[in-house]
Structure 1
Amino acid sequence: MGQKLSISVRDYIHPLESPRTDRPPTFDPLAGFPKGRKEREMKATWEEMNRWGLSPGERDYCAHILIDVYKCRREWAPLAAHPCSDIKHKYDLCEYDDYILRMKEYERERRLLARKRRKEKAAAVDQ
């Protein structure tokens, strides 16, 4: 709680050191990873997501689990709360892990921008 506010204040105070969340990363995603990084892949296809009527906000890396939740709810309707709770928990955990990963990417980008700014200041002082 309060994460959005702290990011907004930091963006206001240091706009050149704050990543833009509406744009792709400005630094190489493999920089600092000598063995590379595991690439994330969508497990649900666009056809499946269209068939199940997922909204644009639900079309993320956890969409395949959300489709399983919808299947379970359809199978157990109208008493879907208890039989589908384990699948719903799995979906919530996937969303949480995705959120943590996005926050780590944001923080990495912010730190790289601050490092770049420090190097530019040091180069300007040396000249």
Structure 2
Amino acid sequence: MAASTTASQEELKAHRVPLAWRDQCSSLLIPLNLCRKQKLYKPWECEHERHTYDKCQYDDYVRRMKELSKLKLAAAEEE
């Protein structure tokens, strides 16, 4: 993931993002949460922000799974 999708610690603290959600996609979570609060959590109001955040989370998951499979393959070749 690019560094542009990671918010600074000051931003995360100011927006009260829980520690569990401070990951590679944290800068996309801040506008999503702001939209949710402004639109009273109506699911159809913040679709674009939610889709962008979910896509980032999915891409990060795929990246980590590819890394893990490479590590497993390298470990199997060592044996």
TM-score, normalized by the shorter chain, greater than 0.5: yes
Any idea what SS the aligned residue of 1:80 has?
coil
Q: Is residue 62 from structure 1 mapped to residue 35 from structure 2 by the alignment?
A: no
Q: Which has the higher contact order (CA 8 A, sep 6+)?
A: 1
Kept in 2: contact 1:62–1:94 (CA 8 A): yes
Runs of 4+, deviation exceeding 6 Å: none
Q: Percent identity?
A: 31
CA RMSD across the alignment: 1.7
- Aligned partner letter, 1:54: V
Bigger proportion of residues as helix = 2
Query: How many residue pairs align between the two structures?
Result: 78
1:108 is aligned to 70
TM-score (norm. length: structure 2)? 0.85
In structure 1, list runs of 5 or more residues that go unmatched: 1-38, 118-127
- Following TM superposition, by how much is the alpha carbon of 1:40 offset from its aligned partner in structure 2, in angstroms? 4.2
CA distance in 2, matches of 1:99, 1:79: 26
Q: Is residue 51 from structure 1 mapped to residue 24 from structure 2 by the alignment?
A: no
Greater mean alpha carbon deviation, residues 107-116 or residues 51-60:
51-60
Task: Please identify the structure whose Cα radius of gyration is greater.
Answer: 1
In structure 2, list runs of 5 or more residues that go unmatched: none
Tell me the alpha carbon deviations over residues 79-119 of structure 1, each in whole angstroms, 9 at most, x when there is no partner.
532120111011111111111111001101111111112xx
TM-score (norm. length: structure 1)? 0.56
Any idea what SS the aligned residue of 2:42 has?
coil
